[in-house]
Amino acid sequence: MIKFNVPPHADKAMEYIQECVRNQKICGDGNYTKKCNEWIEKRTGTAKCLLTTSCTHATELAALLLSDLKPGDEVIMPSFTFVSTADAFVLRGAVPVFVDIRPDTMNIDEKLIEAAVTKRTKAIVPVHYAGVACEMDTIMEIADKYHLAVIEDAAQGIMASYKGQALGTIGNFGCFSFHETKNYSMGEGGALLIRDQKDVEEAEIIREKGTNRSKYYRGQIDKYTWMNYGSSYLPSDMNAAYLYAQLEIADDINEARLALWNRYYENLEPLAGAGKVELPVVPEGCVHNAHMFYLKAADLDERTALIAYLKEKGIMSVFHYIPLHTAPAGKRFGRFHGTDRYTTKESERLARLPMYYGLSGDEVDYICDMIKQFYV
């Protein structure tokens, strides 16, 4: 059986976790959390990185940092995304306004965003699907013109870039995920990337239950106190230790994934050339991270049959997402702006193939052979 996903793991993880246990340093913001933050800051060039308990929480933290976000305000995002993208803003009483996607990248169609802007719009949340960047130049121009915040859902985007800039560092805030299904993992975890130094202090406060404890630990003040509303978004240092072992070999992991991705692509190109399937598109200027490999079948029925066929052959493939605007909560809390030309149609065609650090080239070849067999 070829699994769809195997959580990434680096050999040093156990040694680092044991060190946390031995030294009785297992709470938040310990040595490994600092190492992860610094690694991400150095690697992406962001002003500040704060490790969090999940990408969902990083997005919540970003929403809490939009101090003028009021109930009834609107936030523009794609409907083809994971629920967390919307949840963070719905929790604040804001209305997700869903905009259609581009069929090539499955990312929000940047050309449709401006028409969805109203007096109540406060933010745009681009989601970099599969680690392939949204058209950020256009998105940032619209944000500047209407004074909107940009929060990048870069859950899938670590190690990927847009015109040389790391994903998650272009908007005001960027959110990474270190869930076990992502390229780098700490079980459950994430990170908030903060572009502007002016937002750092408030972010530290909200992440630490509304207190200025971070400043206190740095010795900048002699007692700490309650400054603002807040919550607790600190992961245990043991989780950070597990992650840090992978960050140390981040390039190896990335290269291994890209090799698998390219192998899929080359194997399946003839099938795409014959018009049987569609393969992912990576626009010029975008460097992706092989977060996933997907293909598109002709329609829902063909996709269902393909996934069932692969399962018979011992291969686990999956689909996602149920467009948010068609889900019960999406209907209750949000609205779709314009027409759904591609969101539903394209999401019904998409099948994700096995992709993880440790998958072998032979396994990729076998998967591709079985796909070709399905299409003869």
**Which residues are at the interface with ligand PLP (CB under 6 A)?**
54-56, 81-82, 84-85, 127, 153, 155-156, 177, 179, 190
Of 293, 229, 231, 287, the C-alpha closest to 260 is 293
Strands, DSSP E only, in 73-228?
A: 74-78, 95-99, 121-124, 149-153, 161-162, 165-166, 173-177, 190-194
Shortest distance, CB of residue 31 to ligand PLP, whole angstroms? 22
User: Rounded distance, CA 250 to CA 266, Å?
Assistant: 24
Of 310, 298, 308, 305, the C-alpha closest to 348 is 298
Q: At what angle do helices 361-375 and 250-273 cross, to 10 degrees?
A: 20
Shortest distance, CB of residue 23 to ligand PLP, whole angstroms? 27
Shortest distance, CB of residue 286 to ligand PLP, whole angstroms? 16
Closer to ligand PLP at the Cβ: 182 or 213? Answer: 182
Closer to ligand PLP at the Cβ: 30 or 190? Answer: 190
Closer to ligand PLP at the Cβ: 98 or 374? Answer: 98
Length in residues, the chain: 376
Q: At what angle do helices 55-65 and 200-207 cross, to 10 degrees?
A: 120
Shortest distance, CB of residue 369 to ligand PLP, whole angstroms? 29
Closer to ligand PLP at the Cβ: 56 or 236? Answer: 56
What residues pair up with 315 in beta bridges, in sequence order? 2
Closer to ligand PLP at the Cβ: 188 or 201? Answer: 188
Closer to ligand PLP at the Cβ: 321 or 374? Answer: 321
Cα dihedral 348→157→206→224 (10° resolution): 150
Q: At what angle do helices 31-44 and 237-248 cross, to 10 degrees?
A: 40
* Residues 122, 66 contacting (CB under 8 angstroms): yes
Closer to ligand PLP at the Cβ: 186 or 371? Answer: 186
Closer to ligand PLP at the Cβ: 82 or 244? Answer: 82
Cβ atoms < 10 Å from Cβ of 301: 10
Closer to ligand PLP at the Cβ: 189 or 213? Answer: 189
Q: Which residue has the tokens 């993208």?
A: 85
- What are 19-24's contacts with CB under 8 Å, separation 24+? 19/241, 20/237, 20/238, 20/241, 21/238
* Residues 112, 99 contacting (CB under 8 angstroms): yes
Closer to ligand PLP at the Cβ: 149 or 368? Answer: 149
Shortest distance, CB of residue 243 to ligand PLP, whole angstroms? 12
Q: What are phi and psi of 162, to 5 degrees?
A: -125, 120
Of 75, 208, 228, 223, the C-alpha closest to 153 is 75
Q: What are phi and psi of 146, to 5 degrees?
A: -110, 10
Shortest distance, CB of residue 320 to ligand PLP, whole angstroms? 9
Shortest distance, CB of residue 56 to ligand PLP, whole angstroms? 3
Shortest distance, CB of residue 362 to ligand PLP, whole angstroms? 28
Shortest distance, CB of residue 266 to ligand PLP, whole angstroms? 26
Question: Could you tell me the two tokens for 4?
Answer: 């769809």
User: Does residue 78 sit in helix, strand or coil?
Assistant: strand
Shortest distance, CB of residue 195 to ligand PLP, whole angstroms? 19
